[in-house]
Amino acid sequence: MCGICGVIRYDKDHTDETLIEKMLPALETRGPDDEGIYTKDGVSFGHKRLSIIDLSENGHQPMIDKELKLAIVYNGEIYNFQELRDELRKKGYSFRSTSDTEVLLKAYHAWGDEFVKRLNGMFAFCIHDETRGRFLLGRDRLGIKPLYYVEEGRAFYFASNTQALKSVGVIRPELSPEALHYYLSFHAVVPAPHTIFKNVKKLQPGTVMSIDANGEKKIFSYWDVTFERRETLSEAEWIERVLNGLRKSVKRRMVSDVPVGALLSGGLDSSLIVALMAECNPCSLHTYSIGFEDVGNEEGNEFYYSDLIAKEFRTKHQKIFINSRRLLPNIEKSVTAMAEPMVSHDAVAFYLLSEEVSKQTKVVLSGQGADEVFAGYHWYPKMMNGTRDAVTEYKKAFFDRTHEEIIDALQPKYHGSDVSGKFVSTHFAAPGATIPVDKALRLDTRVMLIDDPVKRVDNMTMAWGLEARVPFLDHELVELAASIPPELKVASSGKHILKKAAERLIPHEVIYRKKGYFPVPALKYLRNEYLDFARDILTTEKAKKRNLFNPAYVEKLLGAPEEHITVLGGSKLWQLTVLELWLQKMGC
Give me the active site residues, please. 2
Closest among 365, 371, 360 to 273, alpha carbons compared: 365
Closest among 42, 50, 13, 209 to 125, alpha carbons compared: 209
Please state, in angstroms and rounded to a whole number, the distance separating the CA atoms of residues 375 and 440: 9
Using alpha carbons only, give the angle 446, 223, 198 rounded to the nearest 5 degrees.
Answer: 55
Please state, in angstroms and rounded to a whole number, the distance separating the CA atoms of residues 88 and 449: 34
> Within 10 A of 33 (CB to CB), how many other CB atoms are there?
14
Task: Say which amino acid occupies 100.
Answer: D
Task: Say which amino acid occupies 492.
Answer: S
412 Cβ contact list (under 8 Å, min separation 6):
none
CA 574 to chain centre: 21
Give the chain's largest Cα–Cα span.
Answer: 70
Answer for the pair 194, 176: CB distance below 8 angstroms, yes or no. yes
> Within 10 A of 461 (CB to CB), how many other CB atoms are there?
28
CA dihedral 50, 52, 54, 57 (to 10 degrees): 20
Answer for the pair 456, 353: CB distance below 8 angstroms, yes or no. no
Q: Which helix (H) or strand (E) holds 541?
A: helix 541-546
CA 88 to chain centre: 31
Answer for the pair 522, 530: CB distance below 8 angstroms, yes or no. yes
Please state, in angstroms and rounded to a whole number, the distance separating the CA atoms of residues 230 and 225: 13
